[in-house]
Chains A and B, each alone.
Chain A
Amino acid sequence: METLLEFLVAALLVMAGIFGFVGSYGLIKLNDQMSRLHAPTKATTLGVGGVLLASMLHAAAFEKYVSYHELMITLFLFLTAPVTANFIAKVHIHRQETRASMPEAGGDDHWATHDTPEDEERRQTAHTPPAED
């Protein structure tokens, strides 16, 4: 049992190390900016996740205490990683793309990052704004 747990912890750590490395390596290897954004947002979460799992398991198995609070870290990462990615993508769209270089925005005119104050004004007058959102 002990060996199994040990193995599990070790495996998690190795996996975490690999994913962590891949996330950062992708940042260097991938050749376009939007693609580079994929690597860390995914790989590192599992990298960190692996470490956290290993840590929980290790504590439970070898340090004689049960540890859940690593879950908090995971929670925060899951909550924040998409927002971070969203913002960096917006930076990319803002700096590298134009309205023309982007795909159609469904039924709408364009993407939010390319929204100018004039557009906003036009929209504001189109609908009467409610008091609270």
Chain B
Amino acid sequence: MIASAATFAFACFALALLMNLWKVVTAPDVADRILALDTMFINAIALMVLYGLALGSEIFFEAAMIIAMLGFVSTVAYARFILRGNIIE
């Protein structure tokens, strides 16, 4: 049961990831692109945790946590770049 549920979740998040990518590539505006990339980070976190769950391993936790922590930094950096040009001023 868990296995099928996990496969379902895998498929959902994988599909989500590809949709995000599609949006990154095709979005008309840069705001949407950044948003899509940020969403990609979040879906990636989900995938990683799922993978750890499927393998019964904790080994992927740190990577997920680091993405949660740092993905935000790059998103903010992109946005700041558009807002101000200087990301550090």
Q: Is the interface of A mostly helix, strand, loop or mixed?
A: helix
Give chain A residues whose Cβ lies under 8 Å from the Cβ of B42.
23, 40, 44-45, 47-48, 77
Contacting residue for B16 out of A20, A54, A67, A95, CB 8 A: A20
Q: Are B56 and A83 in contact (CB under 8 A)?
A: no
Give chain A residues whose Cβ lies under 8 Å from the Cβ of B79.
84, 87-88, 90-91
Contacting residue for A10 out of B1, B52, B61, CB 8 A: B1
CA distance A87 to B38 in the complex (A): 12
| Contact mask for chain B residues 27-57; partner A; CB cutoff 8 A; 1 contact, 0 none | 0011110111011001101100110110010
Find the B residue at minimum CB distance from A79: B72
Known: A20-B43, A28-B23, A55-B53. A88 touches B9 (CB 8 A): no
Give chain B residues whose Cβ lies under 8 Å from the Cβ of A33.
29, 31-32
Known: A44-B43, A51-B46, A87-B75. A69 touches B65 (CB 8 A): yes
List which A56-70 residues lie within 8 A (CB) of chain B: 58-59, 62-63, 67, 69-70
Q: Are A10 and B46 in contact (CB under 8 A)?
A: no
Find the A residue at minimum CB distance from B77: A87
CA distance A87 to B17 in the complex (A): 22
Residue from B11, B46, B68 with most neighbouring chain A CB atoms (10 Å): B46
A123 at the interface (CB under 8 A from B): no
Give chain A residues whose Cβ lies under 8 Å from the Cβ of B72.
76, 80, 83-84
Q: Are A11 and B64 in contact (CB under 8 A)?
A: no
A selection of 15 A-B contacts at a CB cut-off of 8 Å is: A6-B2, A11-B5, A17-B10, A20-B43, A27-B35, A33-B31, A44-B46, A47-B13, A47-B16, A47-B42, A55-B50, A59-B53, A77-B42, A84-B79, A91-B82
Question: Interface of B with A (CB < 8 Å)?
Answer: 1-2, 4-6, 8-13, 15-17, 19-20, 22-23, 29-32, 34-36, 38-39, 42-43, 45-46, 49-50, 52-53, 56, 58, 61, 64-65, 68-69, 71-72, 75-76, 79-80, 82-83
